[in-house]
Chain A
Amino acid sequence: MRATTLLSVAVVATVATGLACRDRTAIDKAPPSAVATDPGLAPDFALIDLSGNKLELASYRGKVVLLDFWATWCVPCREEIPHFVELQDKYRDAGLAVIGISVDDEVAPVREYYRTLRMNYPVAMGDAALAARYGGILGVPVAFIIDRQGRIQMKHAGQTEAAVFERDITALLARK
């Protein structure tokens, strides 16, 4: 019985170490991100999310925020979302908050995707005024990574590897 337990622990530990190494390798190999040399404050916004709650960027000060502009019909956007869900789960306690801003014309398909993709972070509908304040969203997906002080540190336009997001996020989470 004891031997079986020890073997199980060893197997679990080996697999976990292997996964951790794989994650680490992917992060280390991720292409470099364009990091802002003089980061500006992320434009504040106050929206109502799909659940009817207030979504104010200012209230996220002290957290690292991944702000994702996306659309339901955008295949690259949809492919990124499961990674954001994983990242939100993995780094929630460390201070990560993912926020989705949909640029869909209608809210109905967004609600459907929110449920289907089991999104575990707030999503609100965006508009042209908000998009313009973020430098223009003339293509999706576009993701901004905002540090604990509310400054935009990285911008990723187009589909981006999960390892790149994880590398950027963990670097900012490490800064207090």
Chain B
Amino acid sequence: MRFLHYRTLAAVGLVLALGPTALKAQRAESPRISTAEMVKALQLPQAQRPLVIQIGFRVMFQQAHIPGAEYIGPGSDAAAIEQLRKRMQPVARDKFVVLYCGCCPWDRCPNVAPAASALAAMGFKNMKVLYIPNDFGTDWASKGYPVQKGG
């Protein structure tokens, strides 16, 4: 019983210790798209435009989001990841997909890595994560890039 207790503690400790590191590694591995490249991608013919998924928070999405983007929920939430899997299940695995959050600075964002990981595991080969160094307001909306409200 005591052994089990220690094993549980050790497992929790390991998760706590590796959590931020694992997220950081996942973020580093995710293929990125810059904001400037994203603006160009939005101007592509309809068939070539990316499917854009916001994995931040609804209050932000309702105020401003990338035109055509779909809201899924914060990627750090297991329910949102499940929702993402359901949404993406019927989508062709070679579809150009862009995930973005912008809730907080890139290196502190808890949402992009789990979502990117889930899509990579599903076999999406043309998936990118929008690189937002600070937050969506600073790096997208304030720069005059296109936004939509509502949703």
Number of interface residues of B (CB under 8 A): 25
Rounded to whole angstroms, the CA-CA distance of A159 and B104 in the bound complex is 9
Does B74 lie within 8 Å of A105, measured CB to CB? yes
Asked if A126 CB lies within 8 Å of chain B CBs, one says yes
Smallest Cβ-Cβ distance to B71: which chain A residue: A105
Majority secondary structure of chain B interface residues (helix, strand, loop or mixed) = loop
**Contacts A105-B57, A158-B134, A158-B135 given: A136-B63 contact, CB under 8 Å?**
yes
- Shortest distance from the beta carbon of B64 to any chain A beta carbon, whole Å: 6
27 contacts between A and B (CB under 8 A): A71-B103, A73-B77, A73-B103, A73-B110, A75-B108, A76-B104, A76-B108, A104-B57, A105-B57, A105-B73, A128-B58, A128-B62, A136-B63, A136-B137, A136-B141, A137-B59, A137-B63, A137-B137, A138-B102, A138-B137, A138-B141, A139-B102, A139-B103, A139-B104, A139-B136, A158-B104, A159-B108
Q: Within 8 Å CB of B136, what residues of A? A: 138-139
Q: A-side interface residues toward B, CB under 8 Å?
A: 71, 73-77, 103-105, 126-128, 131-132, 136-141, 157-159
Does A75 lie within 8 Å of B63, measured CB to CB? no
- Shortest distance from the beta carbon of B60 to any chain A beta carbon, whole Å: 6
Majority secondary structure of chain A interface residues (helix, strand, loop or mixed) = loop
Does A128 lie within 8 Å of B135, measured CB to CB? no
Q: B-side interface residues toward A, CB under 8 Å?
A: 57-60, 62-64, 73-74, 76-77, 102-105, 108, 110-111, 134-138, 140-141
